[in-house]
Structure 1
Amino acid sequence: MELRQIETFLKVAELGSFSRAAERLGYTQSAVTMQIKQLERELGARLFDRMPRGARLTDQGRTFAFHAREAIAALERAAASVRIPDADADQLVGTLRIGSVESVATALLPTLLARFHERHPRVELIVSTARLERLAEGVLDNTLDVLLTMDRKLSIARLERTVLREEPIVFAASLQMAQQIGPVRIDELAGLPLVLTERGESYRHELECLLAERDEQLHPVVETGNTETLVHLAEQGVGISFLPRFSVAHSLRRKSLVELACDIEPISMWIQAFAHEAKPVSRAMAAFMEMLRVHFEYTA
């Protein structure tokens, strides 16, 4: 088994295409096909299902991809360790791939990333945002090292969970709209002008469940997955937002938004981090997880 075969395999897995992998690597398509066939013969396993418009990893292919990425990462760490001058030998190096849901990425990650970079400037940080299901797949196939989400306490197969902090979800509106509407009442909720995150998001789902018990539905003025956009819309008086308190904390402090009282049972979600239960923990990942624990304990 040669390193170039593994690199070719991972590029096909990333792009889902033999032809695109060949173009990206500077090989002919037949060369890529030959390398994958040689690898499959050596492993005694079919790694890809060949599709009319690409290639999809088999179950065995996904398992091999997880360990192959870890092997490549280990080689990169080994190479980096001997390139560093002796004076910097204790500094952390490598790449940390972080996946996050939009609300956490927008409101919390910038501070965390800046703090981590200040302490460990040689660690490259790569951040991806997506829905939870996609992020979990990324951790499972080793394209992400850790994911951050905010939801009910979750259990995800083969992922190890760290619960960081409980976070209240609040209604917030511009001062003018707050004065017009007053406290939020559940029997009036369906008729209020709301600016909400996408359907299926954890805290919106909780709101929808409350209304479903009353045979009512939400009809938001605007819905978008970008929480920063929702905050700006609420500040401009377009509607009432229903967001984690950390997402509107800055606006509440400068009084561009006010938190609305409501007669609904308080809704909270949990900020949680997940990593693969079988993945070796690098020094960079251990440092990041420790920083998360300290940060959220301090700011609870």
Structure 2
Amino acid sequence: MNGVMELKYLQTLKTILETGSFLGAARKLNYTQSTVTFQMQQLEQKLSVKLFEKIGRKMVITQAGEDILPFVETILQSVEQLENYGKRTKELKGNLKVAMPETLLTNQMQPVLKAFREQAPGVKLSLQALNCYTIRDQVVNGGADIGVHYDVGGYGASMVIEQLADFPLSLIASPSLENKFCDFITEGQRSSVCLITNDRESIYQEMFDNYLKEKDIRLEGIMELGSIETIKQSVNSNLGVAFLPRFAVENELENGTLQELKTGLFDRNITAVCVYHKNKWITPAMELFIRLSKECLSHTS
């Protein structure tokens, strides 16, 4: 088995762990499942270790497999580093996995993505729109190279956290919402208004839930919808109120299709951060994406 083949097998091993199965790796790499199985058998023979064992119907990585993963990651990162050494930005190759919440992806990060594609067209950029707590865990576990999201804490000493920008939050409602339902200041209220959210576990939703609890304000129910755009349309249709980063509703507030309600959270912000593992080699693609994020978001807060 020559060196080139061994690198291919290591990449297959990494892909199995990223996708969670031999079948998932085969689909992502455009292999047959039997090819993936053969490669892992060859790799096991070369390394003299058992990498996977069958538990029920699933192939699960062994402890020996877990132990060698840091070495596999180091080898693959070193190869990418060599391939990109001395290249101009437009010649960069490789993969970059970035995770961010929908609000940032839709509203703030579009200029970053556009600039990155223009400056590094050869890099395969993989984007995931996830909850901020999930993003933190993905970066910690190696599921994402970079997390651009709202600071939720709990990163530990192994993470590098760079602040990007602070953003204010707004409680929004339809202009046709009755005045008696617009009061979110007076304590002890019981309201028939519904709360609309795109992520029940988001950091800003948690802030608003805590505020309602402190004020002893109870709303009638909660509606969880799939996108920010759907939320704005639903609020405009007077189906309920929503608490979101203000930049996500700036245009609607300016043109009067939505109104902002007063709360005791008028001075509260959320902080967007860029997070990556401190032991991970900062590829030129990562370095470019982080720099563009800093440049673009620093002008928006």
TM-score, normalised relative to structure 1: 0.80
Residue equivalent to 2:268: 267
Structure 1 unaligned residues grouped into runs of 5+:
none
Contact 1:165–1:271 (8 Å) recurs in 2:
yes
Residue equivalent to 2:247: 246
Secondary structure of the residue that 1:75 maps to in structure 2?
helix
Cα distance in 2 for partners of 1:189, 1:35 equals 66
Cα pair distance change 1:208/1:118, threshold 3 Å:
same
Deviation at 1:276, TM superposition (A): 0.8
Cα pair distance change 1:126/1:33, threshold 3 Å:
closer
Residue equivalent to 1:12: 16
Cα pair distance change 1:30/1:246, threshold 3 Å:
closer
Deviates more, 1:91-100 or 1:263-272: 263-272
Secondary structure of the residue that 1:239 maps to in structure 2?
coil
Q: Size of the alignment, in residue pairs? A: 292
Contact 1:186–1:264 (8 Å) recurs in 2:
no
Structure 1 vs Structure 2 CA RMSD:
3.3
Question: Are 1:25 and 2:31 matched, yes or no?
Answer: yes
Cα distance in 2 for partners of 1:118, 1:273 equals 21
Question: Are 1:148 and 2:148 matched, yes or no?
Answer: yes
* Equivalent residue letter for 2:9: Q
Cα distance in 2 for partners of 1:67, 1:131 equals 30
Residue equivalent to 1:91: 90
Question: Are 1:38 and 2:77 matched, yes or no?
Answer: no
Cα distance in 2 for partners of 1:230, 1:198 equals 11
Cα distance in 2 for partners of 1:115, 1:244 equals 24
Structure 2 unaligned residues grouped into runs of 5+:
none
* Equivalent residue letter for 2:44: K
Deviation at 1:243, TM superposition (A): 0.4
Deviates more, 1:193-202 or 1:273-282: 193-202
Residue equivalent to 2:233: 232
Contact 1:98–1:126 (8 Å) recurs in 2:
yes
Between the two proteins, what is the percent identity of the paired residues? Answer: 22
Secondary structure of the residue that 2:298 maps to in structure 1?
helix
Question: Are 1:50 and 2:57 matched, yes or no?
Answer: no
| Within-5 A mapping of 1:1-300 | 2-18=6-22, 21=25, 25-26=31-32, 27=34, 31-32=38-39, 34-38=41-45, 40-41=47-48, 47-48=51-52, 50-57=54-61, 61-62=65-66, 64-65=68-69, 67-69=71-73, 71-72=75-76, 74-76=78-80, 78-79=82-83, 89=88, 91=90, 93-94=92-93, 95-177=95-177, 181-187=181-187, 188=189, 191-213=192-214, 218-224=219-225, 226-264=227-265, 266-300=267-301
Deviates more, 1:116-125 or 1:199-208: 116-125
Cα pair distance change 1:116/1:123, threshold 3 Å:
same
| CA-to-aligned-CA distance 1:42-66 (integer Å, 9 cap, x gap) | xx5x544532132334566456445
Deviates more, 1:162-171 or 1:230-239: 230-239
